[in-house]
Amino acid sequence: MKDRKLKTRPNNHTTHRIFVAGTRMNDGKTTTCLGLFAALQQKYSKVGFIKPVGQRFVKIDGQLIDEDSILLEKTYNVETPISSMSPIAIDGSFTKRYLDDPIKMGADLTDKVCNAFDRASWEKNFTLIEGSGHAGVGSVFELSNARVAKLLGAKAIIVSRGGIGQPIDEIALNKALFDQEGVEVVGAIINKVEADKMEMIRKYTSLALKRLGIPLLGLLPSEKVLTSPNLEQIRERVNGTPLNRVDEIRPRRFSHIVIGAMTATGFLDTVSPDTLLITPGDREDIVLAALSHESHHTSGTISCIILTRDIRPSPELLERIGKSRIPFISVSTDSYTVASRIHSMTVKTQPGDNDKIPLIKKIIQENIDLNQIIDAFTPIED
């Protein structure tokens, strides 16, 4: 029996395809893909998705599957085997395994990406390809974002975060890698732009990008809800133990952190909508003030209370906590460590984020020039 011939290019040459790259990690590639998918569905009957190289993954049926592929599948029912939407997952030993045998493993990886793309694009009019990090990520095993875009015959969009100088510098650097591979960059998207700076950023980024030969496809406004973790994410981040049962905990988010190191009266002066309170478990005066504040407000202003140093309140107070609508979480670490861990969190959109996903769709629809993306392709021939 002869060995199967490995692919060096996908068989599909008709489906439109765009590679969504970032200037670095967490610049908004997934947000862009999530919103663009919905926008493209208004123009095309069948839209596909693939993230060829993933770095954040979960195990499904024994396979490592990228979290962003799961998000798109659960949000849109993409009708593609999940393994084809996420063909390569970079685990801790991946790079060493590749460097031990780059010739064989490199051919296998290329073949795997091409086959997955063909499956993900089967009977699709348009396929979104999400990159991983900046254009050079994956170079060590010869599957950089720029090379994958070339391999799949895709045009590219570069997503960067708000600003003028640094984002333009980073876009120019990433464009150089795409240029080196012969991949056309059809435009750039500037993400996380403060509302009061939108027009100023639009003016100067347009001027700067024009000098690079890159159209500005749009600016995405900064939205607090998109970067705020829900309470389940917080609980996992701080390795906390729930002290009470609160229904529908997942949608709750916070926009203001208070460390309870002041008097109870001083704490009440700092409370604002969606406050997260972090305080030692023996500061019962602050906990009682929070519970009293809750009882006098129909709409909760305190999203969660984290009790630190593994100190449990008195039995009487624990009984009141059990009846409270405020989620209480106990942790073993100190207040400063808890606050630092939360501040450093990278918040990823999850399939159950019903408050975020409709907002993302709306932001993309209202702020991205979809026709400019579509115009970069010639019509599909029947």
pLDDT of 299? 54
DSSP output for 154-185: -EEEEEEES-SHHHHHHHHHHHHHHHHHT--E
DSSP 375: T
Looking at the domain covering 16-226+353-374, what would its CATH class be?
alpha beta
pLDDT of 248? 53
CA distance 28 to 218: 13
Angle at 296 (CA atoms; ends 294, 298), nearest 5 degrees: 75
pLDDT of 380? 45
Architecture of domain 231-341: 3-Layer(aba) Sandwich (3.40)
Query: What's the token pair of residue 96?
Result: 């060493």
**CB of 252 closer than 8 Å to CB of 235:** no
Nearest one of 285, 288, 278 to 334, comparing CA atoms: 278
Measured from the Cβ of residue 251, the count of other Cβ atoms closer than 10 Å reads: 13
Give the rounded distance of the alpha carbon of 336 from its chain centre. 26
Query: Domain segments of the chain: what residues?
Result: 16-226+353-374, 231-341
pLDDT (tens place) for every residue of the chain, 382 residues total: 345 566 778 899 999 999 999 998 888 999 999 999 999 999 999 999 999 998 888 888 888 899 999 999 999 999 899 999 999 999 888 899 989 988 888 889 999 999 999 999 999 999 999 998 888 888 999 899 999 999 999 999 999 988 889 999 999 999 999 999 999 999 999 999 999 999 999 999 999 999 999 999 999 999 988 888 888 889 999 999 999 987 654 457 777 888 877 777 777 777 777 889 999 988 999 899 888 887 776 555 788 899 999 998 899 999 999 988 889 999 999 999 999 999 888 888 988 888 899 999 999 999 999 999 999 986 544 4
CA distance 285 to 292: 11
pLDDT of 3? 53
Residue type, 165: G
pLDDT of 63? 86
pLDDT of 247? 63
Q: What is the bridge-based pairing of β-strands 155-161 and 53-54?
A: unpaired
